[in-house]
Amino acid sequence: MLKSVMTICLFLFVAHTASSGTLEGVTLPDKIEMSGTSLELNGMTIRYAKVLGMNFKVYVGGLYLQKKSKNPNEILSSTTPKRIVMQYVRNAPKKKIKKAWHETFDEQCGSECKSEKKHLKTFETQIQEMDKKDKMILDFIGDKLIVKLEKGKAKSQSEINSKKFANIILKAFVKSKNTKFSKALLGN
């Protein structure tokens, strides 16, 4: 009897510590290690694209922080590492992804960020057609943004050394004009 109780307790402990977030069939771990820092899943959301008046699910996004936060200004001003994971739930053409990033950049920044356009061009070099289950990972470390693509077994990575550009991209997630999208990443 004692052995059975201990086995159940051990199972419950392992199940709890190995927990993760799941949305639309995409599972992200609750905790990850990045650059020697432990980050925890702050929230998950779905990005939709409107085509001919209909909404289509494009990717599931997750925000990882060192300490959970519902405050976008706190997240943007924090110097701790952060990660955004986008796992695609459908195929997305390169041209449409680029267009979406341009629109996002303009929404978040406008004309005041002309000096950051060169970084947007560097960012675009990483953009490829994304297939279902492919991932784009954005790591915010210090003054740089590290862009990683995982397409099946193929992986690529580039760095953009601009704190301002990194914050423009991060702001697109935590202060999106689509407040439902941002609120979900903020754990609301």
Place of tokens 């580039």: 158
Per-residue pLDDT tens listing for the chain (188 residues): 434 333 333 333 333 333 468 999 999 999 999 989 999 999 999 999 888 889 999 999 999 999 999 999 999 999 999 999 999 999 999 999 999 998 888 888 876 688 898 999 999 988 999 999 999 999 999 999 999 999 999 999 999 999 999 999 999 999 988 889 999 999 98
Give dist(CA 47, CA 99) in Å, integer: 15
Domain regions of the chain by residue span = 21-185
Q: Are 173 and 108 in contact (CB under 8 A)?
A: no
Q: Are 33 and 42 in contact (CB under 8 A)?
A: no
Helix ranges (DSSP H) in 30-125 = 72-77, 94-109, 117-124
The side-by-side arrangement of strands in the sheet containing 144-151 is: 31-34, 37-51, 54-65, 82-88, 135-141, 144-151, 154-160
Classify residue 145 as exposed, middle or buried by CB count within 10 Å of its CB (0-12, 13-18, 19+).
buried
**CATH number of the domain located at residue range(s) 21-185 in this protein:** 3.50.70.10
pTM, to two decimals: 0.86
- Written as six digits, the tokens of 93 are 């053409």
Q: Are 75 and 69 in contact (CB under 8 A)?
A: yes
